[in-house]
Structure 1
Amino acid sequence: MDTFVYRAGEQTGAWSYPLPTWVGFRLTGICFLAAPLAAGWCALSL
């Protein structure tokens, strides 16, 4: 189970850039999507 979760996390990280660019987002668009997500994670950690 641990190996499955670890490998799934690696695969998600590997597709975190190619998938949005395949859909049509450029680096700027990815940043605009990632910034609110990161802010939400920071707020959740408080």
Structure 2
Amino acid sequence: MLQPDTHSISSHSSLVVRFAFLHNLVLKFSLILGLTIHILSWIAS
């Protein structure tokens, strides 16, 4: 009876880790994109 519970918990934790990694990646990408746009607009002006 314990086996399905531990399996669901492990899969849920892996999903959370994957989501956190994806969120961190998106955050870094948006930060770099924002900085690039800011620098380009600063150079253009």
Q: What TM-score do you get using the length of structure 1 for normalisation?
A: 0.40
Q: Which has the higher helix share?
A: 2
> Which has the larger Rg?
2
